[in-house]
Amino acid sequence: MPPEISLLLDRSESYVAQNRRADKKQSLLRGRTIINLFFEASTRTRTSFELAGKRLGADVINMSVSTSSVRKGETVIDTAMTLNAMHPDVLIVRHPESGAVKLLSEKVNCAVINAGDGSHEHPTQALLDALTIRRRKGRLDGLKVAICGDILHSRVARSNIHLLNIMGARVRVVAPRTLLPRAVERLGVEVYHDMGEGLAGCDIVMMLRLQTERMQGNYFPSIREYFHFFGLDYEKLGRASAEALIMHPGPMNRGVEIDSLVADDYGRSVIREQVEMGVAVRMACLELLTGDPAGGDRGNI
């Protein structure tokens, strides 16, 4: 709901300031235990959740799945129930299968944060993207946002479409037909297959990585052709608003979905700012889920 999202973004603002100070630490979550449980690779999300927990004074454990008993055949659910028996306050979970995090959350009695499940959702990414946009543009309502590239496999796209629609933005998706989910317009987006048309007049241009690890078969003739038609360069960007922001959740594949010159144009590219906002947003999520010791039911994000 808009008020809940606005509250979380407002709380994140105070953490942006805290994270820019020399002393970044406070003791709000002293005594709380957070476990990072990542069944899929991550740089930004895992590190920022670890930093977020530590800066709030919690104990943070990074479970190394590759050296855990998962390698001996223990299931995801049994792994989660085993960790739950050690009384963590929050499990932060990333998993390659859509729906796995929800399933796991039903088997434990601590709070669970979805750090990305398959092609389904990546809610804290959408929140950090919203914070980045709101800080730069002063609002989300009424903005024209183009999300471009591999929509089909992107949990970032789904979470952003959901959040941006709730907050009153107008969302477009721009992609080849092969990289769009069936009936994508039912998600509340305008659909384009041409970058020039899709980017025309947009306030935000959000590029997505080709998720080749989730692809079976051929979705486009070649990387070269994909970049020619769908890679963001200055020529295509010229169709967007002159003040349009360039965004990418990372990791980027330079020369595939985005040209290096555009990615590194720090007048307009906010890609590094997105990473910074990730820590602040995740601090706010941890605070709101665990900050009140007398709080009622556990929550999930």
Nearer to ligand CP, 239 or 258 (CB): 258
Shortest Å, Cβ 177 to ligand CP? 25
**Of residues 36 and 192, the one with the C-beta less far from ligand CP:** 36
Contact 101, 95 (CB under 8 A): yes
From candidates 11, 24, 44, 298, binder to ligand CP by CB under 6 A = 44
Is 134 a residue of the active site?
no
**CA gap 120, 137 in Å, rounded:** 28
Residue (134 or 282) nearer to ligand CP, CB: 282
Residue 295 beta carbon to ligand CP: minimum distance, rounded to whole angstroms: 28
Q: How many CA atoms lie within 13 A of 169 on its CB side?
A: 28
Q: Per-residue x/- marks for ligand CP, 115-134, CB under 6 A?
A: -x--------x---------
Which residue in 11, 24, 44, 298 is the catalytic one? 44
**Distance, CA of 37 to CA of 46 (rounded, Å):** 9
Do 205 and 232 form a contact (C-beta atoms < 8 A)? yes
Beta strands in 110-203 (DSSP E): 111-117, 144-148, 170-174, 190-192
132 vs 239, beta carbon nearer ligand CP: 132
In the complex, the smallest distance separating the C-beta of residue 116 from ligand CP, rounded to whole angstroms, is 6
Number of residues that bind ligand CP (CB under 6 A): 9
Q: Work out whether 45 is an interface residue with ligand CP (CB under 6 A).
A: yes
Q: Which of residues 59-118 bind ligand CP (CB under 6 A)?
A: 116
Q: Residue 170 forms beta bridges with which residues? A: 144
Residue number with CB closer to ligand CP (44 or 268): 44
Report the SS3 class of residue 188.
coil
Instruction: Tell me, yes or no, if 72 is annotated catalytic.
Output: yes
Beta carbon of residue 85, minimum distance to ligand CP (angstroms, whole number)? 27
Rounded distance, CA 271 to CA 216, Å? 29
Type of residue found at 74 = E
CB of 209 to ligand CP, least distance (A): 9
Orientation angle between helical segments 44-55 and 2-19, nearest 10 degrees: 80
Does the CA dihedral 252-254-257-258 come out positive or negative? positive
Q: Is 11 a catalytic residue?
A: no
Q: Which residues contact 90 (CB under 8 A, 6 or more apart)?
A: 32, 33, 34, 35, 53, 110, 111, 112, 113, 286, 289, 290
Residue of 72, 177, 182, 186 with catalytic role: 72
Tell me the three state secondary structure of residue 90.
Answer: strand
Q: Catalytic residue among 122, 153, 158, 236, which?
A: 122
Nearer to ligand CP, 12 or 125 (CB): 125
Catalytic residue among 32, 46, 55, 94: 94
- Read off the tokens for 4: 């809940």
What strand order describes the sheet that includes 90-95? 59-63, 33-38, 90-95, 111-117
122: annotated active-site residue: yes
State the nearest-atom distance from the C-beta of 66 to ligand CP, in Å.
Answer: 16
Binding to ligand CP in span 193-252, by CB under 6 A: 249-251
Cα separation of the two ends of the chain: 13
Catalytic residues: 44-45, 72, 94, 122
Please give the residue ranges that form the binding site for ligand CP (CB under 6 A): 42-45, 116, 125, 249-251
